[in-house]
Amino acid sequence: MNFDLSDDQVALRDAIRRRCEERFDSTRVRAGFDAAMFAELADAGVFSLRADGFGWADASLVFQELGRALVPGPLVWSHLAHGVVEGVVAGVERPPAGQAVLVEHLEHLDTLVVLGDDGVVAVPADELRGAVPLDWPLDPLTPLHRAEALPETTPVGDAAMARTWRQAGAVLVAAYQTGMAHACAERATEYGLARHQFNRPVGSFQAVKHLLADLAVRAEVARAAVDAAACHLDDPEIGDVDRAVRAAKCLAGEAALANAKGSLQVHGGIGFTWDVDVHLFLKRAWLLNTAFGSPDEHAEALAS
C-alpha cells in the first residue's frame, strides 16, 4: 500500500508550486491569460508532461497547483490536445444542432476542439472571428465569445479518443478545483488569523474556526478522491475507472464551490469586493462545474 506522494512527486509538486508563486502571482493572474503565459506554461512542461514520460497522477499534481494559484487559460484542453492539435486549444461539448456555443479565450486561441460521442473535431480559431464577445462574463478571467454556429470541421480523433478526453479532462479539472479548494481554505485561514475584532483574531472564535476546519476537511477529502482517480487512469486494472473519475469530479467541484463561499464568509465585507480574489475563485468554481460533467450529473451516474 503506497497511496501517498513519492519523493519525486513531492519534488514535482514543490517545483510547480514555486514556479506559480514566482511567476503567477495575483497581479499576473488578474491580468488574464495571454500568449506569453501559454509559452511560459509550455516551457514548464504543463502541456507536454505525459509526452515527457510523466503519468496522470503527476499531471494531476501539476493541475492541483495551477488551481491553487488560479492560473487562467484553457489549460486542461491544451494539455489533452498536446500531440494531436498544437498550440493554444480550448474545447466545447458538441452543441445540439442550431444552438449557439460560448467559446473561452477565443482571442488567444489557435484551435477550438469539439467533443462529440463519435469523436473529436477541430475548428481553426480564424473561422470563428464572427463570434461576438460577452461584455460582462461571469468569470472576468475567462473571456467568452458567442458563436451562433460552428463551421464545417476536421476530425482529429475517434470515439475512443473522445472517451479518454472526457475522463482525463474530468480528472484534470477536478485536480484544478481541488487546488482551488485548498487555496480558499488556506487564504481564509490566513485572514482568520490576521483579522481582529473584539480584540482577538476572528479565527479564534469557534463559529469561525469550525467553518475553517470544514473547508480544510472538504479540500483534503477531495484531494484523496482526485489522487485516487488519477491513479486509476494510470493503472486501470486496480478498479472501476469511471466510478473513480466521477467521484473525483463530483467532490472536487463541490469542494471548490463550497470553499469559495466559505472563504467569502470568513472574509466578510472585504470578500464582497472586486479587489480581493475570493470572487474569482467562486466564479471559476461555477464555470468549471459545467466542464466535463457537473457534480450532480456525476452523482446521478454513480448511483445508476
Partner 1 sequence: MPREAYAPALMDLRLSDSDDAFRARLRDWLARTLPELPTPPARDDWPGRVRFDTDWQRRLFEAGYAGLSWPAAYGGQDAAPSEQLLFLEETTRAEAPYVGVNFVGTLHAGPTLIAEGNDEQKAAHLPRILRGEEVWCQCFSEPEAGSDLAGLRTRAVRDGDDYVVSGQKIWCSFGHVGEYGELLARTDPDAPKHRGISWLILPMDLPGIEVRPIETLLGSSEFCEVFLDEVRVPVTNRVGAEHDGWRVTNVTLSFERGTAFVSEMVDARRLAEELRAHVSGSAERRELGHVLAQLDALWALTIRNVTQSSRGVTGPGALMFKLAYTDARDRLGELSMRVLGRGAFDVHDYRVEERLRTLSLPIAAGTSQVQRNIIGERLLGLPREQPWDGAATRSAAR
Site of interaction with partner 1 (CB under 8 A): 1-6, 8-9, 11-12, 15-16, 44-45, 52-55, 57-58, 189, 192-193, 200-201, 203-206, 209-210, 212-214, 216-217, 220-222, 224-225, 227-228, 231-232, 234-235, 238-239, 243-244, 246-248, 250-251, 254, 295-296, 298-304
In the bound state with partner 1, the residue whose beta carbon lies nearer, of 37 and 231, is 231
CB closer to partner 1 out of 141 and 247: 247
Q: Report, in Å, the least distance between residue 12 CB and partner 1.
A: 6
Residues ≥6 apart with Cβ < 8 Å to 220: none
* Residue 263 parent element (H or E): helix 241-267
The CA–CA distances, whole Å, from 191 to 112, 196, 247, 265, 275 equal 40, 9, 31, 11, 15
**Cβ closer to partner 1: 105 or 191?**
191
Question: Least Å distance between CB 78 and partner 1?
Answer: 17
CB of 16 to partner 1, least distance (A): 7
Question: Could you say which DSSP state residue 274 is in?
Answer: S
Q: Considering the complex, state which of residue 5 and residue 156 has its C-beta at the smaller distance from partner 1.
A: 5
Burial 150-170 (b: 16+ CB within 10 A, else e): beebeebbeeebbeebbbbbb
What are the angstrom distances between the C-alpha of 150 and each of 17, 113, 145, 190, 232?
Answer: 38, 11, 12, 46, 35
How far apart are CB 11 and partner 1 at their closest, in Å? 6
DSSP of 131-170: PEEPSS-SSTTS-EEEESSPPP-EEEEEHHHHHHHHHHHH
CA–CA dist 201, 194 (Å, integer): 6
Q: Is 207 exposed, middle or buried (0-12, 13-18, 19+ CB in 10 A)?
A: exposed
* Beta carbon nearer to partner 1, 83 or 239: 239
Q: Least distance from C-beta 59 to partner 1, angstroms?
A: 10
146: cell is 458567442
- Provide, rounded to whole angstroms, the least separation between the CB of residue 221 and partner 1: 5
Nearer to partner 1, 142 or 189 (CB): 189
Residue 5 exposed, middle or buried by CB count within 10 Å (0-12, 13-18, 19+): middle
Nearer CB in complex with partner 1: 94/249: 249
* Least distance between partner 1 and beta carbon 4 (Å): 5
